[in-house]
Every structure is written in C-alpha cells, then in structure tokens.
C-alpha cells in the first residue's frame, strides 16, 4: 500500500502517496489513539459519506481529537481526491490520530487527519462473491459496552477483531462469528450479520457492537420493501437453524454465509432480493 501512485490528503495538504508519512513514535501507533471510517464510491459518487463522517466526529469526541474541518469540507475534499486519483469505484479511508509529541498515555499530542482512497470493486474474490463464505465461531467473546464504547470506530478497539481473525484457520474459514458474554451472536470481525428464518429477516440487537451504516441501510431497505424484519437476541443454536445467513459492511457489501463449521447454508430468495435492492441503492448513491 505504501508504494502506490497518486495522492493522499493529510492535515490540509494533498501529498504524493509515497510521501504521506508519520513518525515511528506517533501516539496512535503505540496506543491505538486513532479512529477511522471506510466509505465506498460507486461510479464516482460516494455512498453515505455524511453518515460516516458524522461517526468519525463522534469517535474524535471519545478520543479528545479535535477535527479542524467541517463535514462538508471533508466530503468536498474526499470528492476532489477521488477525481485527482481518477478512481470512480473506490474505498475511501479517513483517519484521525494523535501525533508524536509525547508517548505519555494522556499527554498533549497534535490532532491529525488524513484521507486516502484506492480502487475497490469486490472485497472478496469472484468465487467467494458468487458462492458465499465459510465461517466458524470465535473462542473470543465480544465485551459489552460496560467495558468499551461500541458505537465508534476507534483503532485500538479493533485489536480484538484482529486477534479473532488471526486465530482462525484461514485455509478453512474466511471469518469468524463472535458471541457476547451470554452466548448470543454479535458480529463477524468487520461486518454485521443477518439471518432469515421462515421468511423473516433477523439481526442481533446492536448493544455491544457497531451499528454499521450498511446494517442500517439493509434495515431501511427491508422496511421499505415489506420484508418482515426483527432485531432480537440470536443464540448460537438459532443461527445454526437459520434458512439463510449473510453479512454486511461497507467493504464487503452483502455476502452470503454458506457454511458455519460443518453446517451448510444457501443464499435464498430474501438474501438475493436484498442484494439486488442494495445494488440499486448504491448505484443511485448520494452523500
């Protein structure tokens, strides 16, 4: 990623991609004192950019990082960056982070912001995109919001997701489902999860994990298109008895789960319908 051509915007300047660097003692690198977003663009038009930047500001408030630009300015900058890099179908990564002025845990550091973008058409390869992914259950549990904030995308909080991803056999599985401390389904490492049972769409209540913007979009799509929908606690046993299962996220979009451990599933009519409705939504993208 560090040897691409193009431009990255950092602290108000457009820099050559290869010259966008920070010091090794950057606070965010040592303590995870940063926050990020992932935004998609389709045909040069960003999807839900405003919602993403609003969440970035909420993350900044938790970390005491002050963003010296308005949401409108950041949207305009991102749009210009897409054009500079000539990438219509892109993944856009805004990041805020504490600088290298001190390594004290709560020492006074500069507040930094950068935005990069790169081409992204499909997160998974064509085979997985067509056939779905295989997942397992993680041995690690998702902690409740008593132990950490769950409605922000703070870099340090993603250490658990990374550990979960690294703990699975990547030759057999693409991802893992995390349970909460009571044994209920929460999410996968970078995506929310939905299941269908008896023609009703279900998703776990977002009480200890991120209420993803794609998750919110799917809920809205279901409600607008008369798809029966319910948020509820979903047990490990219940999800194994589902008729259809899929994950959602900005990068992964909508991806069917076709296997959990040895249990095989198929992408059914509701999953296929939601995929098509979501495609229509993003192809008419607005900020």
CATH number, domain containing residue 42: 3.30.470.10
Looking at the predicted structure, is the pLDDT value of residue 129 above 80? no
Residue matched to tokens 């904030």: 149
Provide CB contacts within 8 A for 170, sequence distance 6+.
none
Say if residues 271 and 222 touch (Cβ distance below 8 Å). Answer: no
Say if residues 114 and 11 touch (Cβ distance below 8 Å). Answer: yes
Same domain? For 143 and 112 the reply is no
Q: How many Cα atoms within 13 Å fall on the side-chain side of residue 125?
A: 2
Per-residue model confidence (pLDDT) at position 70: 98
Per-residue model confidence (pLDDT) at position 122: 81
In a domain, 191, yes or no: yes
* pLDDT tens readout for residues 218-252: 999 999 999 999 999 999 999 999 999 999 999 99
Q: Which of 74, 99, 119 is the last residue of a domain?
A: 119
Q: Which domain does 13 fall in, by range?
A: 7-119
Q: Which of 119, 137, 156 is the last residue of a domain?
A: 119
Per-residue model confidence (pLDDT) at position 62: 97
276 falls in which pLDDT band (50, 70, 90)? very high
Same domain? For 12 and 90 the reply is yes
Q: Is 210 exposed, middle or buried (0-12, 13-18, 19+ CB in 10 A)?
A: buried
Same domain? For 155 and 206 the reply is yes
Say if residues 75 and 49 touch (Cβ distance below 8 Å). Answer: yes
Looking at the predicted structure, is the pLDDT value of residue 285 above 80? no
Q: Which helix (H) or strand (E) holds 140?
A: strand 133-142
Say if residues 63 and 157 touch (Cβ distance below 8 Å). Answer: no
The sign one gets for the Cα dihedral 223, 229, 233, 239 is negative
Same domain? For 135 and 102 the reply is no
* pLDDT tens readout for residues 101-113: 999 999 999 999 9
131 compared with 210, residue with greater pLDDT: 210
Same domain? For 186 and 113 the reply is no
**DSSP H helical ranges for 21-68:** 27-31, 49-63
Q: What is the mean pLDDT of the chain?
A: 96
| Number of domains within the chain | 2
Looking at the predicted structure, is the pLDDT value of residue 28 above 70? yes
Looking at the predicted structure, is the pLDDT value of residue 151 above 90? yes
Per-residue model confidence (pLDDT) at position 287: 60
Q: How many CB atoms lie within 10 A of CB 211?
A: 15
In a domain, 1, yes or no: no
* pLDDT tens readout for residues 55-97: 999 999 999 999 999 999 999 999 999 999 999 999 999 999 9
* pLDDT tens readout for residues 257-266: 999 999 999 9
Q: Which of 91, 119, 147 is the last residue of a domain?
A: 119
């Amino acid at each position: 990623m560090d040897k691409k051509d193009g431009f990255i915007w950092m602290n108000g300047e457009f820099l050559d991609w290869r010259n966008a660097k920070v010091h090794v003692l950057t606070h965010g690198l040592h303590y995870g004192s940063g926050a990020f977003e992932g935004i998609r663009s389709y045909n040069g038009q960003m999807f839900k950019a405003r919602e993403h930047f609003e969440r970035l500001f909420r993350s900044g408030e938790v970390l005491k990082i002050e963003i010296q630009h308005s949401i409108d300015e950041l949207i305009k900058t991102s749009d210009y960056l897409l054009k500079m890099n000539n990438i219509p179908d892109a993944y856009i990564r805004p990041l805020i982070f504490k600088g290298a002025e001190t390594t004290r845990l709560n020492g006074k550091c500069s507040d930094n912001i950068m935005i990069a973008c790169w081409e992204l058409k499909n997160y998974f390869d064509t085979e997985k995109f067509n056939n779905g992914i295989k997942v397992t259950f993680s041995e690690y549990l998702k902690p409740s919001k008593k132990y950490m904030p769950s409605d922000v995308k703070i870099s340090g909080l993603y250490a658990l997701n990374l550990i979960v991803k690294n703990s699975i056999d990547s030759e057999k599985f693409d991802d893992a489902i995390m349970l909460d401390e009571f044994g209920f389904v929460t999410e996968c490492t970078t995506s929310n999860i939905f299941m269908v049972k008896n023609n009703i769409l279900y998703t776990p209540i977002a009480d200890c994990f991120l209420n993803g913007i794609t998750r919110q979009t799917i809920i809205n799509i279901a409600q607008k298109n008369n798809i029966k929908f319910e948020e509820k606690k979903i047990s490990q046993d219940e999800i194994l008895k589902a008729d259809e299962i899929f994950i959602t996220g900005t990068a992964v979009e909508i991806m069917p789960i076709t296997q959990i451990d040895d249990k095989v599933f198929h992408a059914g009519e509701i999953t296929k319908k939601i995929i098509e409705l979501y495609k229509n939504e993003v192809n008419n993208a607005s900020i």
